[in-house]
Amino acid sequence: MKITLLGYGKMGKAIEKVALERGHEIVNTIDLNNIADREKIGESEAEVVIEFSSPHAAYENLKSCMAQGVKTVSGTTGWLDHKEEIEKLCVENDAAFFYASNYSIGVNLFFKLNEVLAKMMSKHKQYEIFTSEIHHTEKLDSPSGTAITLAEGIMNNNIQKSKWVNNEIPKEDEVAIWSSREGKVPGTHNVKYISEIDEIEIKHTAYSRLGFAQGAVIAAEWLVDKKGVLGMDDMLKL
């Protein structure tokens, strides 16, 4: 498969390594230095674009890919206010758009576990919900996209919770996300239910970026013969 990487930082480089190991070809890597290439992806030999850039750049990158009808896998976080618009452009231009806040298979199992636990715990009001995420100090957005997906999983399964707040004391209808930035941590997420007498905790710890990169390449392999708006639930059918 011929791949263009849009965004060539820590994730772009990890994805390149996995893609080459799986026998794919990287036909271009685009970052700020050669951003003009972005407008020509549709005419290039790339069969799929993998976009991991930065929260302020993703919207323009994805608008361009969709307008060109390009099949695109994106993992960039912190831009999701525009997601519906990108999905609409995808359909209008007969493109393909695959998005996940986290491409790790383990995290996607953890998302399902979180939903099941949230449903179970919604009947046990003596437990307070506490979610947290820890990432490396270079991370630009807060809270992490993964923490937002976890909070949404809780809200969808507990009618008492209707929004999330970051690093502030939650009101009764809010899910608290506590975010911190430490050293080179690849990504740690935690959901706790705390009562006066005990606590229940589920936790996912990424040891490196390998799981994110593998998941993104597997998503690209899956997307290459598809069209429309797709995600991990469509691919993994967990």
Rg from Cα positions in the chain: 18
The one segment of 24-32, 62-70, 81-89, 164-172 that binds ligand NDP by CB under 6 A: 24-32
Q: Does 2 bind ligand NDP (CB under 6 A)?
A: no
The one segment of 63-71, 119-127, 141-149, 160-168 that binds ligand LZUJQKHR by CB under 6 A: 141-149
Q: Tokens representing 196?
A: 């006066």
Rounded to a whole number of angstroms, the minimum distance from the CB of residue 79 to ligand NDP is 8
Other CB atoms closer than 10 Å to residue 1's CB: what's the count? Answer: 16
H/E element holding 192?
A: strand 188-194
Active site residue 226: no
* CB-side neighbour CA atoms (13 Å) of 24: 27
User: Who's near 83: CB < 8 A, 6+ residues apart?
Assistant: 99
Active site residue 171: no
Q: Does 187 bind ligand LZUJQKHR (CB under 6 A)?
A: yes
H/E element holding 153?
A: helix 145-155
User: Who's near 185: CB < 8 A, 6+ residues apart?
Assistant: 134, 135, 136
Residue 157 binding partner per list ligand NDP, ligand LZUJQKHR, none, with a CB distance cut-off of 5 to 8 Å that depends on partner kind: none
Binding residues among 114-143 for ligand NDP as defined by CB under 6 A: 141
Rounded to a whole number of angstroms, the minimum distance from the CB of residue 39 to ligand LZUJQKHR is 26
Rounded to a whole number of angstroms, the minimum distance from the CB of residue 145 to ligand NDP is 6
CB distance 118 to 131 below 8 Å: no
Catalytic residue among 10, 83, 88, 135: 135
Where is the binding site for NADP(+), in residues?
Answer: 38
Contact residues toward ligand LZUJQKHR (CB under 6 A) are: 77, 101-102, 135, 139, 144-146, 187, 212
